[in-house]
Structure 1
Amino acid sequence: MSLSSFGIGGGGGTSLAEEEATGSTGAPQATNVAVTRAGPLDTYVVMGGRIKRCWFNATDPLLPNYVYRADVSPSGSKVNITVHQRADLGRAGLLTYIIDFKQAGGGTVITTENRTMPPNLAAKMQYDINRWQRGQSDCSKTMPATASAKAAKPQARVQ
């Protein structure tokens, strides 16, 4: 199933921003990702399935030391996915990342917030969300560069 069939991605949504999460220190900041024509519940069903399949699968998870939690409002107009560090017995520990799906007019606004996720993982998660919003559905192994990784990269000097 494609997000574009719900008006998500494939030109069906209106992109507000496509920023890489850098995991900067300081106050957490939400990053607006997209507005879609689908409702929050429909958007969550598609995106949540991809998140579970790509980030939390049993054989090769992106986030083996984290757990996934979802909360859906009774009306379905708001859905919240939270990612937590894995605590004893697989329980949810420290909150590290938030993905919100909220009703906005005739569509859904998807926002993300990195609380304490390492910058490389936060950047990968934002990269995947942006790809899926545009209609891709695969579990890419591509790791985007983060601002801190770019700064740490040694510069070649010509003499």
Structure 2
Amino acid sequence: MVLSGFVLALTLASVAGCGLRTSGFGGGWLGGGSAGGGTSEVSSESTGAVPVATTSRMSIAAAKPVDAYVLLGGRIKSCWFNADAPLLPNHVYRANVSPNGNTVQITIHQKLALGRPGLSTYAIDFKQEGPSTVVTTENRKMPPDLAAKMQYDIDRWKRGESNCSKEMPKAVAAQPAAAR
């Protein structure tokens, strides 16, 4: 009942264009990066033996981690793992929710025999920071084209889109050096 009330309030606020505190990246129910508060972009450190993982952060205004997980996790399962045309047919979805719902992690694993999870290839963390939930994504071993599509979908969903797009992100063409 509480979750359906939250979803209804979130939908009404989105339609009315009021009441949501969004940050960066142009609105929607998800904002990006810092929301004017004390959060900052995640930095990656490089050590000689460990490759740097790609991470991205976004905040979900006024949502608890478990509520944000229900909304985003539902889109992930229906778009990336659907029976008809899954984006990730050779992967499995796992979620770990803390007993109090303040931290949630979705991990995407390579699929082993009998559908068992193998190597973790992508992670999405939901953590409470003040009144908002911060969502951090990490590409651990996912091929770059799939990781780009996954991040593209997450970015679309944070702007309020809810469909399962087959569109791949457009690669940024390298800019030629300016003549001097």
* Superposition TM-score tier, normalisation by shorter sequence: 0.7 to 0.9
SS of 1:75 mapped into structure 2: coil
Equivalent-residue separation in structure 1 for 2:73 and 2:132 (angstroms):
17
Which of 38, 46, 61 is the matching residue for 1:36? 61
The residue aligned with 1:59 is 84
The residue aligned with 1:130 is 155
Equivalent-residue separation in structure 2 for 1:73 and 1:100 (angstroms):
12
| Structure 1 unpaired stretches of 5+ | 18-24, 152-159
Equivalent-residue separation in structure 2 for 1:12 and 1:57 (angstroms):
24
Aligned length: 143
TM-score normalised by length of structure 1? 0.80
Which of 92, 95, 116 is the matching residue for 1:70? 95
Q: Which has the higher contact order (CA 8 A, sep 6+)?
A: 1
Q: RMSD value over aligned CA atoms?
A: 2.6
Equivalent-residue separation in structure 2 for 1:47 and 1:79 (angstroms):
11
Cα offsets for 1:82-110 (capped at 9, x unmatched): 00000011000010000001001011000
Moved over 6 A (4+): none
* 1:8-157 matched pairs, under 5 angstroms: 10-16=27-33, 26-146=51-171, 150=173
TM-score normalised by length of structure 2? 0.71
> Highest CA radius of gyration, 1 or 2?
2
Which is further off, 104-113 or 34-43? Answer: 34-43
| Structure 2 unpaired stretches of 5+ | 1-6, 14-19, 35-49, 175-180
